[in-house]
Structure 1
Amino acid sequence: MKKKIVVFGTGEYSRRFLMVKDEISYYVDNDESKWGGKHQEKGIYPPAQLLSEKKTNLVITIASMYYRQIAQQLKELGFIEGEHFYKADSVLESLGIFRKVSLYKNKHKGGRAFIIGNGPSLTGSDLSLIKNEISFASNQIYLVYEQTDWRPTYYTMIDIYVARNISREVQHIDAPKFCAHPTLSALGPMCNTYWLHEKIVLDEEKKRLPPPFSEDVSHVIYDGSTVTYFSLQLAYYMGFSEIILLGIDFNYPGISLDTENNATYKKNVEQTASHFHRDYHKVGEQNHIPRLNEMYNAYKSANDFLKSKGVSVYNASRKTKLDIFELVRLEDWIR
């Protein structure tokens, strides 16, 4: 008998299940005002509804930022973690939402690709030089379209704040999109989009460790505090043996890099451009503060891993403070 999948929670986190809504039996929520209503075309019930079900016929998934509290609530109702209820990510993975990317494994074996950063040095004229190359780009890259007829082959995104800020614009990007799974709650289902199970590696004190480099992004892809690290792992999975970076300035003028006391910042009118377009971040938008030490560790992990696999990475950025990859002139790489 097929088990019933019940989602506990109807907030933003539950939007991840839009991709598999036909697999969901119903939702439960602690908010009495929602009981008897509908969420994502399925009914909403009180937690007591779960007691009317045969436990062995249930898969309860917690789609909420309050996982620990809800887990305790379910335990008090007699449900066992790992047997009756699970984290949302593990259920989504079991439903195959992350495995679709396997269509791209070694798709470009032995080829070369450009990974585009959004630093101040990036220009439309440089992108026009590589318009016939395979390329990865991310976030607000569409702001450069007015300067060039270049378009990315693939689009990537990992940041939940960016996803919230530009969710409408992303819908119109005409390229296969590869996104870290937490952004699904902000972006919702999109055509031609692949969701990857992103993982942050922490030590016992909950501090970030240098991330591993994924050899199989259909299973897991590691967070390196920069979307470029995400793209590097994806490029390796696709089989590229040569990768050229462009627009990776590794420099954020105008942004206070105080990550001890602040994790995010809001742009003000006085800030200078930290990206290639003056309106890359709009005034008042919330964004993560760049964590340069974590990013540097991630780039080092990528360089060490890719070298061991015979994959060459070059940095053709016009202005860059990133010293890990060999620096080259873009013109020398134009075919």
Structure 2
Amino acid sequence: MKRIPRPEFSPEVSGECVIVGNGPSLTPALLDSLSADTIAMNRIHLIYDKTDWRPTYWFNADLSSNYYFKQDLEFHASQGYPCFVRMDILARWIAGYMGVITPEDMVAMLENMWPIDAGSYEWTDEIVAPGSTMASAIRAAALWGYDPIYLIGCDGGPDHFDPNYDEHDTGGRSAEEFDEMLNKAFQISFAECWKRDIKIYNATPNSKIKGIPCAPLL
């Protein structure tokens, strides 16, 4: 039987997109006020019980939540919105179910999942390749055609990480080193967006992130 390749995900979009980080400034009221398409990431579902808002797309390119990634992927795949998962994380998830569920059930769970390769992006260098869900989301929004792009819940700074953040979650990086890496990713993302005449702004109040200009949501 000839294999039919899955078509590349290419939504018809126009106008602005709001990319939702998981920083402490994020509130249910802010999420409920959003009307534009949104991209959320990682453990955003921890706020779902406080809001009726749900994202248009969900991204995961970060194994820092490695204790939960299997359950998180399964949960988001069941929500109905397209999910984009770093290729090696998705492979771990699939391997965890081999011999446990039927191939039909596996296919059903994968219907809303799309692999992303964080190491092959045209504007990603090796300093930001291992991780950064935010960089993956910005790139996707830009290449899909959203303009402008706004960031919320992107507080930045090494102190914004969860209290349980530690070295075994980050490949040996400290919170400070990881913050520096993320700032580098933001700088690259900003430069590449503006090179393509795509406007991108950080709409997070008092954000410590460097490399992207700040502006309020319109």
* TM-score, normalising length: structure 1: 0.51
Shift of 1:245: 0.2
Matched, 1:180 2:86: yes
Q: How far, CA to CA, are the matches of 1:225 and 1:244 in structure 2?
A: 21
Q: Report what 1:141 is aligned to.
A: 44
Q: Report what 2:68 is aligned to.
A: 165
- Structure 1 residue ranges without an equivalent (≥5): 3-22, 24-94, 201-210, 215-221, 254-272
Q: Report what 2:103 is aligned to.
A: none
Query: What are the residue-to-residue correspondences of 1:220-231 with 2, within 5 Å?
Result: 223=129, 225-231=131-137
Query: What are the residue-to-residue correspondences of 1:206-221 with 2, within 5 Å?
Result: 212-213=122-123
Query: What are the residue-to-residue correspondences of 1:42-121 with 2, within 5 Å?
Result: 96=5, 100=7, 102-104=8-10, 107-108=12-13, 110-121=14-25
Given residue 104 of structure 1, which amino acid in structure 2 is its aligned partner?
Answer: S
Is contact 1:112–1:243 with CA below 8 Å preserved after alignment?
yes
Instruction: Judging by fraction of residues, say which structure has more strand.
Output: 1
Q: How far, CA to CA, are the matches of 2:209 and 2:64 in structure 1?
A: 25
Task: After superposing the two structures, state which structure 1 stretch, 291-300 or 239-248, moved more.
Answer: 291-300
Q: Report what 1:235 is aligned to.
A: 141
Higher relative contact order (CA 8 A, sep 6+): 2
Is contact 2:183–2:210 with CA below 8 Å preserved after alignment?
no
Query: What are the residue-to-residue correspondences of 1:19-30 with 2, within 5 Å?
Result: none
Given residue 233 of structure 1, which amino acid in structure 2 is its aligned partner?
Answer: R
| 4+ residue runs over 6 A deviation | none
Q: How far, CA to CA, are the matches of 2:146 and 2:64 in structure 1?
A: 30
Given residue 141 of structure 2, which amino acid in structure 1 is its aligned partner?
Answer: A
Is contact 1:138–1:155 with CA below 8 Å preserved after alignment?
yes
Shift of 1:184: 1.5
Q: Report what 1:298 is aligned to.
A: 185
Q: Report what 2:98 is aligned to.
A: none
Shift of 1:180: 1.0
Q: Report what 2:102 is aligned to.
A: none
Q: How far, CA to CA, are the matches of 1:172 and 1:150 in structure 2?
A: 16
C-alpha spacing 1:165/1:286, structure 2 compared with 1 (3 Å): farther
Q: How far, CA to CA, are the matches of 1:307 and 1:186 in structure 2?
A: 35
Given residue 195 of structure 1, which amino acid in structure 2 is its aligned partner?
Answer: P
Q: Report what 2:153 is aligned to.
A: 247
* TM-score, normalising length: structure 2: 0.76
Given residue 146 of structure 1, which amino acid in structure 2 is its aligned partner?
Answer: D
Matched, 1:197 2:79: no
Give the one of 169, 172, 182 matched to 1:287. Answer: 169
SS in 2 for 1:301: helix
Is contact 2:82–2:112 with CA below 8 Å preserved after alignment?
yes
SS in 1 for 2:211: coil
Is contact 1:246–1:317 with CA below 8 Å preserved after alignment?
yes
- Structure 2 residue ranges without an equivalent (≥5): 95-105
Is contact 1:125–1:147 with CA below 8 Å preserved after alignment?
no
SS in 2 for 1:142: helix
Over the matched positions of the two proteins, sequence identity in percent amounts to: 21
Q: How far, CA to CA, are the matches of 1:123 and 1:296 in structure 2?
A: 23
**Structure having the higher Rg:** 1
Deviations 1:261-307 (A, max 9, x none): xxxxxxxxxxxx735xx8xx5x9995224412222222111111111
Instruction: Judging by fraction of residues, say which structure has more helix.
Output: 2
